[in-house]
Structure 1
Amino acid sequence: MLIFLIGMMGSGKTTLGKELAEKLGYTFLDLDAVIEEKENRTIAELFAAEGQEWFRELERSALQRIISNYKQAIVATGGGTPCFFNNIALMNASGETVFLDVPVKDIVQRLSQSDLSNRPLLLGKTQSELISFLGKTLADRRQFYVQAKYILARPPYTSKALLKLLPL
C-alpha cells in the first residue's frame, strides 16, 4: 500500500512518515528529496533557476514514478503537491492519503526553529510575514488537502494516532 502524507510545510510529514515507515516496515520517500537527488540540486535552487511552474511539472513526474515503482511506501509530499495538476486525485486513486491538519501557529513555531534556506517560498520573510503567508497559503490549499481520504486534525500527530485512522 502507498500512503501519501499531505499538508503544509512544517506540518511534520517527514518526521511522521519516517516513524510510520519504520513501524510498518515500508520504504520512506520524501518527494522533495527524491527530486533533489534526481536533479542534483536543492528545491531552492530548482525554484530559483527554473521557476515554480517547471518545478511543479518535475514534481508531478516524480510522483508518477513513485506510484509506478513502489507498492509499499510512505510518501511525504511537498506542501503544494496536492494542489497542482490532478495530483490529489492521482494519490487518492493510487493509495491512502492523509492530511496532517496542523494549526498555522504550530507550523510557524516549528518553522521558526528550523533553517528556512531550503524553503524557497519562505525566504526573506519576517515572523509576521511568515504568519500571514502561511495562513493565506493554508486557506488557499485547504480545498485540496481536505480531499484526502483521512484527516489527522488533532494532536497528537503521531504514527500511533495515524495507524488508528488507516485501514491496515
Structure 2
Amino acid sequence: MKIFIAGYMGSGKSVIGKQLAEALNINYVDLDNQIEIIEGEDVNGIFEEKGELYFRKLESRILQDILNDPSDMVVSLGGGTPCYGNNFDAIKDSEDTTTIYLKASVETLTARLAYEKVHRPVISHLETKEQLEEFIRKHLFERAFYYNQSDYIIDVNNLDPEEIVGRILKKLD
C-alpha cells in the first residue's frame, strides 16, 4: 500500500507523513527530498537555475519511480505535484494507493507560511501578509480541483499532528 499526502505548502504534509509512516510501521518518502537527493541541490536552487518546467518533469519521473516501487510507504507530495501533467491520475490509477488531502484554510496557511517565506521560492517575493494571503487564495482556488479528488479529506485547522494522524488512521481502518 502507498499512501500519498497532498495539500498546499504549509499544510503539514511532511510532519504528518513522517508520523503516519511511523504509526503504520512503513517507509516514509518526501518527494521534494527525493528530488533534492537525486539532483544534489535543494528545490529552491533547482527552480532558480533550471526553472519550473525542468523541476516538474523531474518530479513526474521520480513520482513514477515511487509508484513502480513495490514497497509499502507513505509519500508526502509537493504542494503542486497533483496539479501538473498526469501526476494525480497516475497515482489514482496505480494499484493499492490511497490519497489524503490535508485541507487548511487560507488563514491557517497564511499564518504558517508568513514565517517560512525565505525557504519557499514560490512565495519569497511576496512582501506583505495581504499579498501572501491573496497568493494562497488564488493557488488554492486553482488547485482545489485536484486536491478534492483525494480519497480522504482531513481538515487540519486547529489540530495538532497527533490528532491529524489519529483521524487519518481511523479513515484507513
TM-score under structure 2 length normalisation? 0.91
Q: State the 1:153 CA deviation.
A: 2.6
Find the partner of 1:128 among 127, 130, 143. 130
1:158 is matched with which residue: 158, 164, 168?
164
Q: Is the 8 A contact 2:154 2:164 kept in 1?
A: no
Post-superposition, which runs of at least 4 consecutive aligned residues in structure 1 deviate over 4 A?
none
CA contact (8 A) 1:8 1:138 kept: yes
Q: Distance in 1 between matches of 2:37 and 2:14?
A: 16
> SS at the partner of 1:78?
coil
- Matched to 1:164, the amino acid is K
Secondary structure, aligned partner of 2:125: coil
- Give 2:166's aligned amino acid: K
**Bigger shift: residues 80-89 or 104-113:** 104-113
* CA offsets 1:70-108 (integer angstroms, 9 cap, x no match): 421110000000001111111112310011111011111
SS at match of 2:99: strand
Q: Percent identity?
A: 36
Unaligned runs of 5+ in 2: none
CA distance in 1, matches of 2:125, 2:70: 37
Rounded to whole Å, the distance in 1 between the matches of 2:25 and 2:58 is: 28
* C-alpha separation in 2, matches of 1:154 and 1:34: 25
Instruction: After superposition, give the CA deviation of every residue in 1:29-71 in whole Å (9 maximum; x if it has no partner).
Output: 1100000010001111111111111110000011011111242
Q: Which residue of 2 aligns with 1:17?
A: 17
Task: Name the count of aligned residue pairs.
Answer: 166
- In structure 1, give the amino acid aligned to 2:103: D
1:107 aligns with 2:109: yes
